[in-house]
Amino acid sequence: MSTDLPQEIIRRKRDGSVLSAGQIDAFVGGLVAGSVTHAQVAAFAMAVFFRGMTMDERIALTRAMTRSGTVLDWSVPGLPGPVLDKHSTGGVGDNVSLMLAPLVAACGGFVPMISGRGLGHTGGTLDKLDSIPGYRSQPGLALFRKVVREAGAAIIGPTPELAPADGTVYAVRDVTATVESIPLITASILSKKLAAGLQGLVMDVKTGSGAFMPDLEGARELATSIAAVATGAGLPTTALITAMDQPLASAAGNAVEMRNALDFLTGVHRDTRLEAVTLALGAEILVLGRLAGSREEGEAMIGKALASGAGAERFARMVAGLGGPSDLVEHPQKHLPVAPVIRPVLAADAGPVGAIDTRAVGLAVVALGGGRSRPGDGVDHAVGFTALAALGDRVGPDRPLGMVHARSEASAEAAGMALRRAYRTAEAGQAPLPPVLERIGGA
């Protein structure tokens, strides 16, 4: 019996054998051709979930899924700089991509960023961009290429041309309790990044109460897998493990995080921890792209692009190029949706913030309508929280936990109660984690 038959490949992995690159290619090729069924994909995913994959198997799976569709070649436009990107495992108040892509572009890189929507308690970059009227988050490849070439960055959603095998595998994983498999997470993320034709990638792997990988050990395992597999597949990659023990920005939602990002780019307001993570990731990207000789030089370059307004100008170009208003950066209040009910949420007890259940904050945004419980749910872009207190902040009558932005008084009241439950005040509370915890190289 042929060892390339789908059922034989599944059986081998079920029994703990190491699959060859040819067997993995055959399975993914059959998936795209339609000769591998969804039931067989589910069985394969469950076998991988329990048996795992060697590093060579992970690289082979990533490469096969990358080749399942179009692989962009940026040498055709003749871009005068490296093609670079960043990806985050997601969190609450994590709007780094909105600032980092244009800042890297202002430093000479080109950023074709393929992002996703929010699911569960984490926010999605595309949902934030969809709060901009007219913005085309899923353009054709021709417009995508044009905006990357002219603005230096374009942030869009997955397209059916890039790594289509991943869309099928992820949909099956989502309903078969196999989402947490590190080999499958690795191949899912990296197949899309490799298909985007990148020359360098920095991964932001979150850990803490608001992260997909709440414990440091799990975050370290995922970061190591992604960095090693990406580099092994020909994409130089560095991973940073960053803290998600509290919301990264002081805003959580869609339009409110977009406004927070615009304030960051224009210098109106910059959250300290958000700035530290943005600079650290930007420095890594510039070193990978050989635009900076060291992380210190890279961080200085990102800081200069931020201070000069060059990053804000690149963001404006990107938004206009993808159909959004040309004056969004100058006049965000004219374009971003605003919730009809905005009011403070007072703490149950006065004192310094000692601990935050960050996941619960994200779920409170979902309950407001700012996220989705299922992939097809709609999203209210106006709702969320702003002015969120950080660990160590003293809250009380003069300093609320945050401002709730809601569609109704009833939903504002419910969200306020949820936010109060997510915060705990204590004189001797939880010490904040450093914004950047570890750096893991792919070599």
- Residues annotated as catalytic are 85-88, 125, 173, 188, 192-193
DSSP class of residue 368 equals: I
Give the number of other Cβ atoms within 10 Å of residue 291's Cβ.
19
Q: Please name the residues in contact with 364: beta carbons below 8 A apart, sequence gap of 6 or more.
A: 385, 415, 418, 419, 422
Reading the block at residue 80, the tokens are: 């005068």
What are residue 239's DSSP bridge partners? 203, 440
CA dist 99 → 17, 327, 329 (Å): 44, 17, 12
3-state secondary structure of 242: strand
Reading the block at residue 93, the tokens are: 């108040």
Burial class (CB in 10 A: 0-12, 13-18, 19+), 424: middle
Contact (CB, 8 A) for 26 and 37: no
Reading the block at residue 419, the tokens are: 């936010």
Contact (CB, 8 A) for 45 and 170: no
Q: Please name the residues in contact with 237: beta carbons below 8 A apart, sequence gap of 6 or more.
A: 200, 201, 202, 203, 226, 227, 230, 231, 288, 442
Residues belonging to the chain: 443
Give the number of other Cβ atoms within 10 Å of residue 241's Cβ.
26
Q: How far, in Å, CA of 40 to CA of 43, rounded?
A: 5
In one-letter notation, the amino acid at residue 189 is I
Count Cβ neighbours within 10 Å for each residue of 130-150 and write b for 16 or more, e otherwise.
bbbeebbbebeeeebbbbbbe
